[in-house]
Amino acid sequence: MIDLSGKSAVVTGGSRGIGRAIALRLAEQGADVCISYKGNSAAADEVVAAVTAMGRRGLAVQADVAEMDAAKALIDAALEALGKIDILVNNAGITRDDLIMRMKPEDWTDVIDTNLSGTFWTIKAATRPMMKARSGRIINITSVSGQAGQTGQANYSSAKAGLIGLTRATARELASRGITCNAVAPGFVLTELTQDLDVKLLDGIKEATPLGRFATPEEIGAAVAFLASDEAAYITGQVLAVDGGLVMR
């Protein structure tokens, strides 16, 4: 069983969906958890309550990680409350889907700023304390859209593809200090964002997925918990697909 006892984790975008499942899974395995959220304080408070009910320390920090100063404030708050950061999970992300010819400039920049730059800012802020400790686990949540591209998601696909490059660059830079950096690439996951999609589209996704179903947020959380653990100490710079076989390479 994965044991994260005594570890402290930061999960960005941890109030709902995949982020919530990741935060709860890390807590279940023994970690104290700080989550960031952008606007839904009630959902964030619920996650913290669930974490503390397990006997772990929990903290929610409102932060828009697209802003460098906010990302640094998040890491500083986690360090102050938890004393250290052993695990950083960059999950915060948004979508602004549209075809390229119709995509508004702000829809491009908002997605890049949050999904890609936001991850960079949090990694940058967490690097110094992790290097000082000579250990750490960084896990970035990318997507099959970043591996294969997706119609109507030029912004999102570009950001998620960029995360793969950022993951590998980070892994190379920080390996000498005992810090690993990996990515998890979910396929289609049953969350609030996907449950309202057109039925025909959902059926088409299932047909295209060899395992014939959507992932659950908990399955993504399990993959993250593994990469955060001592069992994954010799794994770095990798992209772990949790997609039911949708993208095979």
Structure tokens that stand for 105 in this block:
């400039």
| Cβ-based neighbours of 232, under 8 Å, separated by 6 or more | 137, 180, 182, 226
Choosing from 121, 156, 188, 214, the catalytic residue is 156
Q: Determine if residue 245 is left, alpha or beta; phi over 0 gives left, psi from -120 to 50 gives alpha, anything else beta.
A: left
Closest alpha carbon to 92 in 54, 52, 139: 139
Assess contact for 169 and 179: CB atoms under 8 A.
Answer: no
Sign of the torsion formed by the C-alpha atoms of 154, 108, 152 and 100: negative
Annotated catalytic, 37? no
Enumerate the β-bridge partners of residue 180.
137
One-letter amino acid at 90 equals N
Question: How many other CB atoms sit within 10 Å of the CB of residue 74?
Answer: 26
Q: How many CA atoms lie within 13 A of 244 on its CB side?
A: 18
Q: Determine if residue 30 is left, alpha or beta; phi over 0 gives left, psi from -120 to 50 gives alpha, anything else beta.
A: left
| Cβ-based neighbours of 11, under 8 Å, separated by 6 or more | 19, 22, 23, 26, 33, 34, 35, 36, 89, 91
Pairing type for strands 87-90 and 239-242 reads: unpaired
List the catalytic residues.
156
